[in-house]
Structure formats: structure tokens, C-alpha cells
Structure 1
């Protein structure tokens, strides 16, 4: 565990400066291992209502995460759905997950700590820490992990919002270009051209951006 409170301030700045969600998550895991000295760390994020490991320090915790996903039970899934944090002191004696715990123990996972990643508006996933030794995580470790998860939650939320913003801006640009092409080719007004794109999007059950991209690339509306 880190002895320098300033380390978390430096972490916050580093996470804020990351270019995308994956880089943000990698920064969290690097800090967990190097500054907090946890053995293995990963981040599960919710992707369209399904949990997925988006980054991990090694194959040990990747396998532990996938085991939870495959079995539909485990500390990380419980943290995401119902608890702020879930501590497993010893997988050989924990009876909450009759399938996951003994299998994890057989694979060398003896203790685990899962911290929910969330903001005021939504849950994004879980920060997962595991060890090959039982009874590893003390109260100080839990407090540090919660602080790390807080920084991670904010950074991931910001990165996702920025990514969505960039996607929205790019989409508007493409729709605008397609509107211009239709106006020029068919002598339509901007309102009429946009209406044509909307109708094609609805009748073909395609995203407006996809229809716009087709017009830009081919000069024609989809057949």
C-alpha cells in the first residue's frame, strides 16, 4: 500500500490526461500493482448489459474474471449489481458462490476484493484485485482500493463521455456532408435532404450515420 497521499493526486492527473477509456483503465491497473502493491488487478466494464474484462495485469486474473462471467456468479458480479465492495478472505471456505469459489481456489486464487465502479448516474463496472494468499486484504487495503476505484470511476466516465462526444461530432459532420451531396445532386433544400436521410434510415432500419456514410462514399442513396 502506498505511503504517499500525493500519489493519488498524481494518479488523478494521469488518468485525466489519458486519451481513451482503455488507456485510462491501464493507468488504474498500473497504479494498483506498482503503487499499492496488489498481486493481480483487472477492470470489468459493463458493455451492453454484459460484463467484460477490458484490461488485466496478467492471465491469472483474466481467467478468474472469465470464470465469473461463465458461471454467472462471483464477487465482481455481486459488486456490480448489488454491493459497493465484496471481500473474499479465503476461497476455500467462502460458501457464497458454490461454483466459483472452489474452482477459483483450484486455480490458485485464494482471496479477492471487488470494488464497484460507479458515478451518481450509473455503474460502469468493477475493479478487481486478487491474490494467491488468503486473508491478504486488510481495512487499509480496502480504503485504498475504494479511493482508487473512485478516481477510476470518474476518469472512465469522463473518457466515455468524451468518446461519445467525439462520435457525435463526427456523426454530425458526416450527416452534414451527406445533406450537402443530396442538395447538390437532387436540387433539394437542406430540410428536404435531411428528411430523405431520415426516411431511408427508418425504412432500412439503419443508423442515420451509416446512411450518410453511404451517400458520401457512393454519391447515391442506398438501394
Structure 2
């Protein structure tokens, strides 16, 4: 596993230069494959009550995503409906999805990790990481996956809150800065800090960007 602190720092700076939400998410997926060495990666979003692949590194994982939608079962759909991350250690022996798992295994997918994406006030999608080998994902991989999901969540949430993509970029930066402030002040991880911002947004019925701006301007959370 590479030096994640340095790599994720470079990723954050590089993503700030991207002005399109799709381009940003594709940058996250590219990082997952090229730097963290996962075989395939995708983002599956719920749009108009239907899950669809928003971005993917290749056709294989796009097909695997679509197969879940067609069959109505799979780790990504379970992560969305149950609002929890889902780990697949080996599709050959996993019995939770009797239709999806054998087909995935036949297509070369042996292990997978579906991490929730928080876009707004709910779980609206997942970051999918896939490997051709079984039992690949350890605790370090899950931590890295959560950091990747954080970047993707900020990008998608910003774009959905603001119609103008230029404003969306500013929003993503503000949320990133607020995450940094909370980490420094309260000793939180990046995932925990983003969760705090999201809960304040949800409980106070305040836009995520406005909560982040308050933290950036004042150094504290809203009352």
C-alpha cells in the first residue's frame, strides 16, 4: 500500500482544479485504480428512483453494475437500501445474492467493496471497488475507500446543491476546508469530520455548503 497521506493530499489538490463533477469523480476512480491498485472502480447513483452507473473505469464494472440493476440484487443495491457499507470477500462462496454473485464470479469479479456516498441528506449512491482476487480488502483498504468516497461525495453533493458548476467547485473547496478545520480542532478523521457536517446539515435543515462556510468563517459548528 502506498504512502496514503501524501497520495491523498495530492489527490485533493488535483481534484480542486477540476471544474466538472463527472471529471472529478472520474479522477477519484482513476486514483483508485492507478495509485491504490484496485482492478476496477465505479460510482453508482440513484437518480429518479433508479440506480445507474455515473462513472466507471471500464466496461466490466459497468456491466456488473447494470447486472445488479437488472437482477434487483447485489452489494451496491444493498449498500443503498440498508445505508451501510458492504464487503464481498469472495463471490464464489458468498450466498447473499444467488443470482448476482455467480455471474460476477464468472466475469472475473471475486471480491468487492461498496462504500456509501452521502449526497445531501441520504445515501444516494455507492463507490464500488472491485478485484479479480478473493479476500483482497483489509482494514487499510476500507479506510482508503472511505477517503475516496468522501471526495466523490463532496463533488456530487456540491453539484446537486448548486446548478452552476463554477459555484459547485467553490462549494467543494469550502466543504474540504471545513473538514480540515474540524479534523484539526476535534482530532477527527476525514470521514468523521464529513459525517459531522452532514449531520448538522440534516438535523438543522441547512445546506451542506452553508454549514461548511460557517465552520470556515468562524472555526466552530453552527448552534
TM-score of the aligned structures, taking structure 2 as reference length:
0.69
Cα offset, 1:84, TM superposition? 2.8
CA distance, structure 2, for counterparts of residue 95 and residue 4 of structure 1: 33
CA distance, structure 1, for counterparts of residue 132 and residue 76 of structure 2: 17
Deviations 1:126-170 (A, max 9, x none): 100111111111111111101111121112211232335889xxx
CA distance, structure 2, for counterparts of residue 165 and residue 29 of structure 1: 20
CA distance, structure 2, for counterparts of residue 89 and residue 135 of structure 1: 5
Residue 163 of structure 1: SS of its match in structure 2? Answer: coil
Residue pairs, 1:65-214, within 5 angstroms: 65-119=65-119, 121-163=121-163
CA distance, structure 2, for counterparts of residue 165 and residue 110 of structure 1: 37
CA distance, structure 2, for counterparts of residue 84 and residue 164 of structure 1: 31
Q: 2:15 is matched with which residue?
A: 15
**Does the 8 Å contact 1:21/1:159 carry over to 2?**
yes
TM-score of the aligned structures, taking structure 1 as reference length:
0.69
Count residues in correspondence.
Answer: 167
Cα offset, 1:120, TM superposition? 6.0
Segments of structure 1 that go 5 or more residues without pairing to the other structure are 168-223
Deviations 1:42-101 (A, max 9, x none): 111111121110111111111111110110100011111214311000111101011111
**Does the 8 Å contact 1:76/1:114 carry over to 2?**
yes
Deviations 1:148-193 (A, max 9, x none): 11121112211232335889xxxxxxxxxxxxxxxxxxxxxxxxxx
Question: Which stretches of structure 1, 4 residues or more, deviate above 3 A after TM superposition?
Answer: 164-167
1:54 corresponds to 2:15: no
Distance 1:4 1:99, change over 3 A: closer
Please tell me whether Structure 1 or Structure 2 has the larger radius of gyration of its CA atoms.
1
CA distance, structure 2, for counterparts of residue 117 and residue 95 of structure 1: 25
RMSD: 1.9
Q: Please, which moves more after superposition, 8-17 or 73-82?
A: 8-17
Cα offset, 1:6, TM superposition? 2.5
